[in-house]
Chains A and B, each alone.
Chain A
Amino acid sequence: MKRIHVWSALIVVLALVLAACGTSATTTTAASTETTATTTATTAASGTTAAMMTPVEVTIGFTTSTTGKYNTESTRQVNGLQLWMNDVNNAGGIHLSDGSVITFKAVSYDDESTKDRVQELYTKLATSDNADFLISPYSSGLTAAAAVVAEQYGKVMITTGAADDATYEQGYTGVYQVYTPASKYLTSSIDLLHSLDMGATKIAFVYENSTFSTGVATAAQAYAEANGYDVVLFEGYDAGTTDFSAIINKVQASNPDAILGGGHFADGEALAKQLYEKQVPVKFVSLLVAPPEPLFSEIGDAAKGIAGPSQWEPQVKFTEEGAMANGSAWIGPTGDDFVSEYNAAYGEDPSYHAAGGYAAGLLLQYAIQQADSIDPDAIKAALDATNLTTFYGNLTFDTSADKHGLQIGHQMVVVQWTNDLTKEIVWPEAAATGTPIYPLGS
């Protein structure tokens, strides 16, 4: 019997010793895909003649929520980014005037949709992995944490999948937003409702208590009230809620014409499903994040007629001609090309999360071209001056001190699921591809 005590103790002591030896002062563990990344672009480039082509590999660091509650959205976002990286590398990289040829390499980790991991991992990316540029994780909450780290280590971070306005009011100088800000998410849905039914006056807001959705709901509430709507319910639910019965009962009792809100994919989907199961008599529902994802159709009948704001849809058409017409630059593939490439690579239609990922890459590519270097300060200056159109839409940044990096050029559309379970753009009218279903259930 004593033997087992000795063995157990030995195992424990051995484990402690091994662990202590493995402290991450320098560890490059038997990890996923990263090999050592070297980026000495500017120093390598200086002194070479224009005729010499020096290959330079630029490291882009980011985390993905391969697991956890954001995995649906984050996977698509990273797919988009990865597609861009393959495209630009296969096209031969970016040629700078000093002869360097920039190609890109990704270093990424799984953040498990949790903030503490994001903090640790982005610090690792910024320090021991020597990432030159950072791309944000998915979701405003995680991006806020990553932005702190990016700013602390002076790295330029392009955020995608993160709409919350608050991140750009903290005084950061190197964080740039690709998505339309949260404050604009539901305002277009209210406009749509107004155009469909002037008699609909009561709106219920039911939203997830995250920075993003709270920002959306608060702005939308102000907009609704300013336009004469009666906000009959304005209530948040805790992130991670799966049982919406109590809050749905409350919504039903407040007798709204429309329900606006939601949060991210998992809860939005559950909310839509449970609204359907409880047969809540409402005329219009617009939810965040979930409806624009093609995967939303998995809830079947519950998806029909549900609307949602989207950063981009395959049907929108931005072109190089259009860009020239309104005086902005153009880069990247057309929307159709993007859709077919994405389909070929991943076997499904891209959602706006994927488009946002690709657009983030395009933005970086454009900035490097404009700055003609990869020096962070030059890149920041180039980004500040950017007026760029891509298949994803226009990208222009607020450069004032108190909102630096906020996206001010990009517009959103509203999509809705039809009775055939396809997704159509229903707003703005100029971009619409289908007639809106109103009221719900018709």
Chain B
Amino acid sequence: MKRFTGLLVSLAAVVVLAVIPLITHKDSSMQSMFTILLGIALASSLNILLGYTGYVSFGHIVYFGIGGYVGFYTMAQLGQSLWIALLAGAAAAAVFSFLLGSAILRLRGAYFALATIGVNEAMKALVSNFDPFGGPIGMTLKVSFYKDYGGFSNIGWMSYRLLIVVTLAVVITSYLVKKSKFGLGLMAIREDEDAAEVMGVRAPSAKTWAYVLSAVFPALVGVLFFFKNSNIEPGDAFRLQLSIEMIVMVMLGGLGTVIGPILGAGAYQALRSTLLTVDKVKDVQLAVAGVLLLLIILFIPTGAIGWVRRRFPRLRRVLE
């Protein structure tokens, strides 16, 4: 049990946040917690690529969009259930990330980052022109579709509960990766890829699997998000800004840790929603996030949790 303290702390953090709306039964707290868990799930999946493997993906939101679109198409045009849609979305993201990853993971550093941006923008433009996906107008699910899911008014809560499951899954996966030999290989790649290869780490395949793993969860989250909104459009599915915010969340909390992205995402999304309605300040939120990010990059690049871990070595076991 002692061995898993880190995992339990991380899971507890998620659970504590997640049950608040379930206890209060208030729609508004469900909504805000939904965005927070969304952030946590996205940030934790990105962490597998960014934190463990050291590859900066600026366009990671593309998998949120691909999963969302394929899943939505499965429901709207093929009339399938949400469960099939989740499977389809995850499968599409897995296949796409595998193929794409094999190609672009050859690039290093800044080139890789630029390529991921290019992929996201190209995908957005392509989907915008792709008529089966509704072109620039996207797709909508009618109210009648939701009869089997407890009615239109219930889909928020239903998606929320599923999101909790997905978030917990990401956290557990993140922990397992970190503690496994696979994860060790990834972190070796992060530190020095050539040295890692010399030591026997099969970098290309390891990176690709990390990439695929980091792509599947955003896809699941995407399907749930658009299911809840009953509508999808290219602009919503491939928002570059959200992709960037994912990076900020990971960096804030501490990349390469399990609990870092959880805290980073939680704090960032909470800050965002709080500032959302305050007229004078609502746009400054981005500037505030920018300043925080800058301070972190300049002075504590390992993020809040990283700094705590270094400063208080005894907490290391607790804060994985």
Contacts and interface: CB of A to CB of B under 8 A. Distances in A.
Decide if A and B touch, CB cutoff 8 A.
Answer: yes
Interface of A: 4-5, 8-9, 11-13, 15-16, 18-20, 22-27, 29-32, 109-110, 115-117, 119-121, 123-124, 126-128, 141, 144-145, 148, 151-154, 166, 169-172, 209-211, 214, 236, 238-239
Contact of B28 (A24, A29, A236): A24
A16 B296 CA distance: 13
Contacts of B8: none
Query: Chain B interface residue count: which class?
Result: 35 or more
B292 A29 contact: no
B140 A24 contact: no
Given A12-B307, A19-B271, 5 more contacts: A8-B300, A9-B311, A116-B236, A123-B27, A152-B155
27 contacts: A5-B307, A11-B292, A12-B252, A13-B304, A16-B267, A19-B271, A19-B274, A22-B270, A22-B274, A23-B32, A23-B273, A24-B29, A24-B32, A24-B276, A25-B28, A29-B278, A121-B276, A123-B28, A124-B31, A148-B230, A153-B27, A171-B144, A172-B143, A211-B137, A214-B136, A236-B136, A238-B128
Task: Give 5 nearest A-B pairs by CB, closest first.
Answer: A171-B143, A209-B136, A19-B271, A128-B28, A16-B267
Nearest to A29: B278
Nearest to A15: B292
Contacts of A145: 229, 231
B85 interface: no
A398 to B, nearest CB: 16
Given A12-B304, A151-B152, A27 B274 contact: yes
A127 B34 CA distance: 15
A25 B230 contact: no
**What does DSSP make chain B's interface, helix, strand, loop or mixed?**
helix
A30 B278 contact: yes
A121 B144 contact: no
A283 to B, nearest CB: 29
Nearest to B271: A19
Nearest to A21: B270
Interface of B: 20, 24, 26-29, 31-32, 35-36, 128, 135-137, 140, 142-144, 152-153, 155-156, 229-231, 233, 235-236, 239, 252, 263-264, 266-268, 270-271, 273-279, 282, 288, 292, 295-296, 298-300, 304, 307-308, 311
Nearest to A114: B235
Contact of B299 (A4, A24, A110, A127): A4
Given A121-B277, A127-B27, A9 B156 contact: no
A25 B32 contact: yes
A153 B35 CA distance: 18
A22 B271 contact: yes
A166 B138 CA distance: 12
B9 to A, nearest CB: 16
Contacts of B236: 115-116
A14 to B, nearest CB: 10
A16 to B, nearest CB: 4
B153 A144 contact: no
A126 to B, nearest CB: 8
Contact of A209 (B137, B229, B278, B311): B137
Contacts of A31: 277-279
Given A8-B300, A24-B32, A115-B236, A152 B282 contact: no
Contact of B153 (A11, A15, A22, A154): A154
Contacts of B155: 152
A302 to B, nearest CB: 27
Contact of A109 (B235, B277, B298): B277
Contacts of B27: 123, 126-127, 153
B277 A166 contact: no
B270 A24 contact: yes
B261 to A, nearest CB: 13
A31 B142 CA distance: 35
A36 to B, nearest CB: 14
Contacts of A22: 270-271, 274
Nearest to B264: A16
A65 B295 CA distance: 33
Given A11-B295, A12-B304, A127 B31 contact: yes
B136 to A, nearest CB: 4
Contacts of B152: 151-152
A16 B156 CA distance: 27
Q: Which of A4, A5, A19 has the most CB of B within 10 A?
A: A19
A236 B137 CA distance: 11
Nearest to B303: A12
Nearest to A32: B279
A141 B235 CA distance: 11
A170 B143 contact: yes
B295 A8 contact: yes
B225 to A, nearest CB: 10
B314 to A, nearest CB: 17
A12 B142 contact: no
B285 to A, nearest CB: 10
A9 B135 contact: no
A241 to B, nearest CB: 12
